[in-house]
Amino acid sequence: MKPLISIIVPIYNVEAYLERCVVSIQNQTYPNIEIILVDDGSPDNCGKLCDEMAAKDERIKVIHKPNGGLSDARNAGIDLAKGDYLSFVDSDDYINPLMLEILHQNMVDAKADLSCCDIKNAYTTEAEYFDFDNKVKLYTNIEALEMLFTYYCQVFVMVCNKLYRKEAFTEFRFAKGKIHEDEFLTYKILHHSPKIVFSDARLYYYYQSPNSIMRSAFSEKRLQYAEAMEERLAYFETENLSKFYDLTLQKFGIWSLFFYYLNRASMSKETRQKMLTIIHKNCDSILQKKIAKKGSKLAFTMARKCPFLLGFFAHQSVFGLNIVSRFSQILFDNKGE
């Protein structure tokens, strides 16, 4: 019999999508799985639906717990999991029937420590599946960390499109009470995985809900991304990964300007001051370490005096909306990020 894979699904207020998610896991072609549904104190009928599905499928285990957030729910699932391997699926997303089989086979064939696949954004409430190839590429841990600063950043930082050896979570857990939870953790697991296999098959379907955290109105919690970046800087400094420290610092500097520009009108006076402090600190660090190229050096020098204006340029650099974006990309040396 093939090794057991535990799939952990944190659940909160997703009654409309839950069945689609669970059915996609039940339909996996990989034969030996357990499905751990973590009802995180959901106020709707999710808890009842979990119990009903478990009564019909012995592979399903259900945890009912007080609400503690996505990270806490995932951690509870890890504690219960019996599998040799772990995978995570968010309850409003769904997966291709072949996902676990392909991720596991790729890991075995490559003798890898971590296996991941590409993702596809989903915009409908019905499950849609698409044709794909399974072109495989191998990465060292350092090469995988480099991908965090490229177009493929989301694919590599995301938790849910991967198959992990369970021992990967012996040392690490998700940061409780945080949003941007993937940003707090995945880079550590990448760093501790000497060989990583990646398939360009889009096997994980990432539902783009208009009510998702990233699309919602401004809240103080969104500043937790800054905490994640500060922790990442500390980690790379401790591990003597100076290249990634410098790249993270520049990325953090651009993000802080971009975030301030987009959300300044919605911030309290206290939060605006907090953001200005972050911007000034980032700019000073980038300039003092002399890691910025000529254009970026000018940008971060200007940003101390005109953060809102430079936030506009950062916005153009990220989204490339018009002709201003060409100048913005030069200014921030941000062509591949």
**pLDDT tens profile 282-305:** 999 999 888 776 667 888 888 889
Contact partners, residue 246, CB within 8 Å, separation at least 6: 289, 291
Q: 234-249 burial, b for 16+ CB within 10 Å, e for fewer?
A: ebbeeeebeebbbbbb
Q: Residue 337 pLDDT more than 60?
A: no
Two structure tokens written together for 310 = 């430079």
Q: pLDDT grade, residue 329 (50/70/90)? A: low
Residue 17's CB is within 10 A of a number of other CB atoms, namely 20
pTM attached to this predicted model: 0.89
CB 39 within 8 A of CB 50: yes
Q: Give the pLDDT score at 314.
A: 80
How far apart CA 337 and CA 296 sit, in angstroms, is 14
The amino acid present at 242, given as its one-letter code, is S
Q: Residue 336 pLDDT more than 60?
A: no
Q: Is 41 helix (H, G, I), strand (E, B) or coil?
A: coil
Q: pLDDT grade, residue 271 (50/70/90)? A: very high
The amino acid present at 270, given as its one-letter code, is E
Q: Give the pLDDT score at 327.
A: 54
- Tokens 């990634």 sit at which residue? 244
Give the Å distances, CA to CA, from 319 to 236, 296, 313, 324. 28, 17, 10, 11
Give the Å distances, CA to CA, from 303 to 146, 158, 277, 278, 326. 26, 30, 12, 12, 18
Q: Residue 127 pLDDT more than 70?
A: yes
CB 46 within 8 A of CB 11: yes
Instruction: Identify the burial level of 125 via C-beta atoms within 10 angstroms of its C-beta, where 0-12 means exposed, 13-18 middle and 19 or more buried.
Output: exposed
Q: Give the pLDDT score at 302.
A: 87
Q: Is 91 helix (H, G, I), strand (E, B) or coil?
A: coil
Q: Give the pLDDT score at 39.
A: 97
Q: Domain map of the chain by residue range? A: 5-213, 218-332
Half-sphere exposure for 254 (CA within 13 Å, toward CB):
24
| CATH class given for the domain over 5-213 | alpha beta
